[in-house]
Structure 1
Amino acid sequence: MARLLILWLVLCGAAQAEDIYQFSNPVDRARFEHFTAELRCPQCQNQSIGDSDSMQAEDLRRDLYEQIQAGRSDKEITDEMVRRYGNYILYRPPLNSSTVVLWVLPAVLLIIGIVVVLVMVRKRKAAEGQRQLTPKEQADIEAMLAEHDRKGATSEKDS
């Protein structure tokens, strides 16, 4: 019984590992894997077409496979996908006038955050250094200094 269970598990695992896209060379397989990781599923918001189980992602994978088999270049494939779905399909859209905010805004916000923190730290240090004593505190300190001077003068006479 245990052998039958092990055999069944091995066969089920092999069935799950079956790849439906067969490539004639490892370069095409690598290109396919690269594209399936880099293209966003239009339906699933934040999943690649390789990770998504949606019908649209399945159609995109099949289309991608056919384009690779037809010998189209990476640029041709990317251009076709962008033409059909816009820059949204790319996880890393190119830097152009419509995407410059996506690329520049994080750096600008980081710089602004650093400047705000530095200004706050400097203001806090300046405020701590300029604190004025109240008249009572000033009188207490003068009394302590006078007491110290008297004790110091007495100690010097004893020595």
Structure 2
Amino acid sequence: MEKQLKLKTRREIMILGTKLGKTNIAAWASKEDDDGDEDRVVDLHVDVPNEKKTAVGIDIRAATAWEEAEKSKYIARFKREEIKIQAWENHQKAMAEAELKKMEVMVERRRIHGHDRLQSKLADVRHKAMEKHAVVESKRNLQAARVSQKADFMRRTGQTPSSSLSPQCSCWNFCCR
């Protein structure tokens, strides 16, 4: 009775293990006991037809176990490949992002350099404009001083110039301006 209960339990475990795809459990449940009862191997494979229950039962079990082992091997191999591909993709993305960041920094530096160069140019223009304004102002002041001197001379002497050409200069006063 105890042997039958044990056999029934192992059969249920083997069937459940096979349904769930757990080859280790199914293989354990289908193992023979230490007493070497060969009828038991045949009894465990309930779904196998009667004419194939002898050696074919063992072959089917071995083939199923081998198939499950191979499936788990290639699934694990492909998972490792997927992980490698994902790591490569992440590395490539990181390199591209780093290069993009580097380019952005370079563009920003160039923009700042160009901005500074233009600011310097504007400062030079302002400085030169101030110098030119100063030169014009000094010429205007010099001209005003000359006009003032001539006016003082005319007031003192009472003479007015007869023409705009001065007798001392033969170039019509272009060199004296």
Whether TM exceeds 0.5 here: the answer is no
Structure whose CA Rg is larger? 2
Q: Per residue, is there more helix in 1 or in 2?
A: 2
TM-score, length of structure 2 as denominator length = 0.34
